[in-house]
Amino acid sequence: MNRRQLAVVGESLAARFLVVRSARIVARNARVGRGEIDLVVAFGNRRVAVEVKTVQTGGLDDPAYAFTRSKAQQVRRLANCLGIRRVDLVAVSIGATGVDIRWVPDIA
């Protein structure tokens, strides 16, 4: 699976994961100027920007490590442009033993 395919699969898994937890998907790959927010979801009336990080792994890699301070600032800036005040991270690991999904609310 190439990097883009992996990202698409990870975003789909993250979206399903959040929907099961009462989120409503507002937008996928929302363009904001030159940037992009992976998912915009709503919990009731509250909109949340969600960054999804996905790795294909043997079980040792943590996709959350790819959510750097610089990336957090970028996503926060894009979210602010949409009037969104909360940024969450969903880290997806896909491996031979299955899928692991970790949600970190209000990370940035």
User: What pLDDT, in 10s, does the model give residues 93-105?
Assistant: 998 888 999 999 9
Section 64-88 average pLDDT: 95
Q: Enumerate residues 6+ apart whose C-beta is below 8 A from 105.
A: 86, 88
Which phi and psi (to 5°) does residue 62 adopt? -115, 115
- Encoded tokens for 19: 């929907």
Taking the C-alpha atoms of residue 83 and residue 40, their distance in angstroms, rounded to an integer, is: 11
Q: What is the pTM of this model?
A: 0.93
Q: What fold is seen in the domain 3-104?
A: Trna Endonuclease; Chain: A, domain 1 (3.40.1350)
Q: Which residues are bridge partners to 49 per DSSP?
A: 40, 87
Q: Enumerate residues 6+ apart whose C-beta is below 8 A from 1.
A: 9, 56
Domain ranges of the chain: 3-104
The predicted structure's pLDDT at residue 97:
85
What's the pLDDT tens digit per position in 26-61?
A: 999 999 999 999 999 999 999 999 999 999 876 557
